[in-house]
Structure 1
């Protein structure tokens, strides 16, 4: 059975704010928008090159719990954790992301590799990884 990665997804309290954040901080462009009436959700698929991300705004959704906003405490809850993207140079990425107002939650600089987690405008964690041979 062969398959390929298609997209990651997050739920946010304000779709317009999230679309602006994903554009301004990470460079994603809106590919399409639609509604899912049974879920009472407005949805946008955003894209950056081959990468896709789906962003939901669902009425009456529960807010993101505090423990899900930090990588270490998030691991203590079962379920999906985050999506990760590869960068060529973590230090350069951090400088650029912080200049764009990114909320850096956690940075790892170890022999096995470097990476960081940033929070989107709703507190969802997104990981960026530099492979050790870069």
Structure 2
């Protein structure tokens, strides 16, 4: 089987500059590069945090995010890509930090199978953060 590794996630937003600022201010990503994709009519940026990359698209004439895509349980009821998830060491500490940064916390999950939370970024797209025991 061919080998492969994760390269990046991507998200479409109404304002590229607002999203670049939000990902930097709230999650600590830095701008790696900015470019235009003519075939998609997209002003695009690649942001990075350590080995993690995230591609942000501002597509000319794009439709807004449907409301049900902003709510984790409703979003799962529609086929397609759902969200990207990042690992955190301590969910409670992460939630405190997100609260201080006034992040929009959509859902907190505390189940026997694990703990996580979903936040909405500046355009309403969902991002999951999972506390994972790596011991």
- Give the SS at the match of 2:68: helix
Q: Does the CA contact (< 8 Å) of 1:32 and 1:46 recur in 2?
A: yes
Q: In structure 1, list runs of 5 or more residues that go unmatched.
A: none
Answer yes or no: is 1:29 the counterpart of 2:23.
no
User: After the TM superposition, which parts of structure 1 deviate over 6 Å for at least 4 consecutive aligned residues?
Assistant: none
Number of matched pairs: 134
Instruction: Report the secondary structure of 2:45's partner residue.
Output: strand
Is there any run of 5+ residues in structure 2 with no aligned partner, and where?
none
1 CA distance for matches of 2:77 and 2:91? 26
Q: Is 2:57 the partner of 1:56?
A: yes
Q: How do residues 1-134 of structure 1 correspond to structure 2 at under 5 angstroms?
A: 1-132=2-133
SS class of match (1:57): strand
- TM-score between both structures, scaled by the size of structure 2: 0.97
Cα distance, 1:110 vs. partner?
A: 1.0
Deviations 1:68-93 (A, max 9, x none): 00000001111000000000000000
Q: Deviations over 1:77-119 (max 9, x none)?
A: 1100000000000000000011111100000011111000000
